[in-house]
Amino acid sequence: MNRASQKRTLLAFPYIFWIIAFTLIPVLILFWYAFTDAEGAFTLKYLAAVFQKVHLKSLWMSVRLSFVCTVLCLLIAYPLSLCMRSLKISRKWMLTTIVIIPMWMNFVLRIMSWQLILSKNGILNRLFSMLSLPPQNLANSGAAIVIGMVYDFLPFMLLPIYNSVMDVEEDVLEAARDLGAGTLTVIFKILVPLNRPGIISGITMVFVPALTTFAISDMLGGGKVMLIGNIIEQEFLNTMNTHLGSGLSLILMVFILIGMLFSFRLERDQEEYKAKSTAEKEKELC
Amino acid sequence: MKRFCMRFYLALAFVFLYTPILILIVLSFNDSRVRSSWGGFTLKWYAQLFSDATLLTALKNTLSIALISAGIASLIALMAALGVDAMRKNHAVVVINLGNIPVLNADIVTGIILMLTMGRFMKLGYASILIAHITFNIPYVFLSVLPAIKNCNRSVYEAARDLGADAGTAFFRVLLPDIMPSLMGGFFMAVTLSMDDFVVTYFTRGAGIDTLSTLIYGQLKRGLKPEMYALSSMIFFVVLLILIAGNLIPGGAKRRDNDAVWKRI
């Protein structure tokens, strides 16, 4: 390590300062609020509050809805990525049209638009009556929330899966086909195992925001469905019970942390795999 | 047949992603205050939005927060990427993983912890929203710039140094142009995320200041003003035009010339 590059590492300091000041310290402050009461005395009652019936019920509801949302996103995104690979859709094109352009229509309006689609006399039911199908009562229900969540989070599932699907080299698939594997065998025996890290990363990228959303459930649940995110939001902004809100947020963070550790480990596995395969390739070339 | 099915599936996904947006654009031309009925084509909401002071203030806040936060985040992230690039590997891994926290963290938690922290030291308002947006923007620019720095051709930079350029000159004349596309990509992503953010802004804004997202959310219960559709559609069109133009011109010709020069040498 020479002096010039030692000096260059100093450039990272504003960034490190920012992480400490606006990520690490805020997390510690959340801990402090969660473990103390209004008088500043140590307590565990706000963490234990998660076991109250209302909170358990909404936590369970959140887990259920976000599970359904994650599964649906995976079922939509994986075949879609395979299609995009076959149709040779470029990364830039897919990033722009699927992730970036929709984001330029305001998030709140985009979700509100689903209210119009799903409501009793909404667009979907008009379409159904034209096709003489029975009208559906989807508005203000768990189903509406799931649809909104799938709509909003699908790109987060698509992005990592698309990347890992595109990383698989055509030679590998060709070899499998030459050896007699059919399309389904290629998908389930070759592609899915190779894409596992991308799939896992997509799952965490969707499950975390789905588990913690409050805006989507507020707009599409019509106040009937209380998710854990809605409870936390109300504790902070309506009842002003900062300590209880912090306790519940901390519990949520534990869920998120588990997800993060999971994805970090898999990423490392993937990097090791990549490093190994490039090393082997170099060996071959020599 | 197989290709047709794949195209059809892709098209279906696009219908799913773009129908809500299309509805909002249609509503922006709807000559009726009731959003569930069509009252004919009009441009009046587009005309009226320019006399709505609340709307224009929210627009100004949204745009300035997006541009300033993306700019500051880009500067911090660029410096960080240069620094991390020079670090020992195990240090770099720690810094990169710590920086990933805001990406993986839930919006609601990011919003709450920043609200609690900044609420203790300052009055929540424009500045706290700005700081919050810088915080969640930094990792996106960082993750976009770091690979570009790792992949750029170091010998050109070293050649410049050998030929007598000081580190600054070599950086601005050689390295920076090389990583500019990634930096601009990260910057644009940051502007997009900041413009679209609702949750973090909602918690860190305090009282008395609105961005477009929080203004719309507040209006939802009372009934949304149709001008809102017009403004949002207008932003959407402008960005769409920029993207289309950018795809056609992106310094492409110039860069190709450079490549040709390199090949000839």
Contact A264 B97 (CB under 8 A): yes
- Which among A8, A104, A256 is the nearest to B106, CB-wise? A256
The winner for highest mean pLDDT among A81-85, B97-101, B162-166 is A81-85
* Residue with tokens 């050689």, as numbered in its chain: B174
User: Is the CB of residue B122 less than 8 Å away from at least one CB of chain A?
Assistant: no
User: How large a percentage of chain B has pLDDT more than 90?
Assistant: 52
Å between A104 CA and nearest CA of chain B: 5
* Chain B stretch 76-95, residues whose beta carbon is closer than 8 A to a beta carbon of chain A: 76-77, 79-80, 82-88, 91, 95
What's the helix, strand, coil split of chain B in %, to 5?
A: 80, 0, 15
Looking at residue A284, what is its pLDDT? 53
CA closest to A249 among chain B residues? B109
pLDDT at B36 exceeding the cut of 50: yes
Q: Domain B52-246's class?
A: mainly alpha
Region at B162 (left for phi over 0; alpha for psi -120 to 50; beta for the rest): alpha
- Distance, in angstroms, between B79 CA and closest chain A CA? 5
What's A139-193 look like in SS3?
CCCHHHHHHHHHHHHHHHHHHHHHHHHHHCCHHHHHHHHHCCCCHHHHHHHHHHH
What homologous superfamily is domain A15-256 in, according to CATH?
A: MetI-like (1.10.3720.10)
Question: Could you please report the per-residue DSSP string of A242-284?
Answer: HHHHHHHHHHHHHHHHHHHHHHHHHHHHHHHHHHHHHHHHHHH
Q: How far is CA A81 from CA A13, A172, B13, in A?
A: 39, 17, 11
pLDDT, residue A270, reads 60
The residues spanned by each domain of chain B are 52-246
Place of tokens 């992005």: A159
pLDDT in tens, B16-28: 999 999 999 999 9
Q: Residue range B139-158: average pLDDT?
A: 87
DSSP B2-25: HHHHHHHHHHHHHHHHHHHHHHHH
Phi–psi pair at B225, nearest 5 degrees: -75, 135
Contact of A257 with chain B, judged by CB distance below 8 Å, is answered with no
Judge whether A3 is closer than 8 Å to chain B, CB to CB.
no
Are A107 and B213 a contacting pair at CB < 8 A? yes
Residue-level pLDDT at B252: 39
For the beta carbon of residue B71, count every other beta carbon within 10 angstroms.
Answer: 16
Tally of helices (H runs) and strands (E runs) in chain B: 13, 0
- Predicted confidence band of residue B261 (pLDDT cuts 50, 70, 90): very low
Owner of token pair 């569930």: B36
Give the tokens for residue B92: 């770099």
Q: pLDDT tens across A95-140, in order?
A: 888 988 999 999 999 999 999 899 888 888 888 888 888 888 888 8
Per-residue pLDDT, B160 = 86
Task: Please list the residues that pair with A36 across neighbouring strands.
Answer: A42
Tell me the ipTM for this assembly: 0.86
Distance from the Cα of B264 to chain A's closest Cα (Å) equals 27
B:11-30 residues touching chain A, CB 8 A cutoff: 13-14, 16-21, 23-24
**Whole-number Å distance between alpha carbons of B2 and B7:** 9
Cβ distance B24 to A259 less than 8 Å, yes or no, reads: no
In angstroms, the CA B217 to CA B224 distance is: 9
Higher pLDDT, B47 or B248: B47
**Mean of pLDDT over chain B:** 87
The domain spans of chain A are 15-256
The pLDDT value recorded for residue A271 is 63
User: How many angstroms away from the CA of A193 is the closest CA of chain B?
Assistant: 22
> What is the mean predicted confidence (pLDDT) over B189-216?
93
- The tens-digit pLDDT sequence of chain A (286 residues) is 466 777 888 899 999 999 999 999 999 999 999 999 888 888 898 888 889 999 999 999 999 999 999 999 999 999 999 999 999 888 888 888 898 899 999 999 999 999 989 988 888 888 888 888 888 888 888 999 999 999 999 999 999 999 999 999 888 888 998 998 888 898 888 899 999 888 988 998 899 899 999 999 999 998 788 999 999 999 998 888 899 999 999 998 887 787 667 666 666 666 666 666 655 655 555 5
CA-CA distance, A120 to A118, in Å (whole number)? Answer: 7
- CA-based nearest residue in chain B for residue A237: B203
Q: Between these two residues, A121 and B204, which has the higher pLDDT value?
A: B204
Which residue out of B34, B113, B236 would a mutagenesis test of the A interface target, given it has the greatest number of A Cβ atoms within 10 Å? B113
Residue A42's DSSP bridge partners are A36
Q: At B125, give phi and psi (nearest 5°).
A: 175, -145
